[in-house]
C-alpha cells in the first residue's frame, strides 16, 4: 500500500490501458491523474512544456 503522493500523466497508449485509473484515483486521496493529449504514451517527449507544468503544479500542491 503506497502512502506517498502519486501522479499519473496519461493519454492513449498502444501498450497500456487506463480504463480502471478513475477507480484507483478515487480510492487514493493523495494520487492525481492528468490526461495530456495528444501524446501517445510519451508526454515528456511529445509535450515537454505541458508535462513540466503538470509536474510543477503537482509538487506545489504537495507542500
Please list the ranges in the chain whose pLDDT falls under 70.
2
Domain residue limits at 41? 6-61
pLDDT of residue 52: 98
Sign of CA dihedral 13, 1, 7, 25: positive
pLDDT of residue 3: 82
User: Is residue 22 domain-resident?
Assistant: yes
pLDDT of residue 47: 95
Task: Report pTM.
Answer: 0.84
H helices of the chain, in order, are 21-26, 43-46, 48-61
User: Is residue 16 domain-resident?
Assistant: yes
Number of domains observed in the structure of the chain: 1
Q: State phi, psi for 57 to the nearest 5 degrees.
A: -60, -40
CA 10, CA 50: separation in Å to the nearest integer? 12
User: Is residue 28 domain-resident?
Assistant: yes
User: Is residue 1 domain-resident?
Assistant: no
Name the one residue in this structure whose C-alpha cell is 503538470: 54
Residues present in the chain in total: 63
pLDDT of residue 11: 93
Amino acid at each position: 500500500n503506497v502512502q506517498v503522493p502519486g501522479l499519473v500523466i496519461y493519454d492513449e497508449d498502444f501498450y497500456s490501458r487506463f480504463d480502471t485509473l478513475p477507480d484507483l484515483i478515487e480510492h487514493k486521496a493523495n494520487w492525481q491523474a492528468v490526461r495530456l493529449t495528444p501524446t501517445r504514451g510519451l508526454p515528456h517527449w511529445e509535450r515537454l512544456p505541458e508535462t513540466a507544468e503538470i509536474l510543477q503544479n503537482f509538487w506545489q500542491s504537495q507542500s
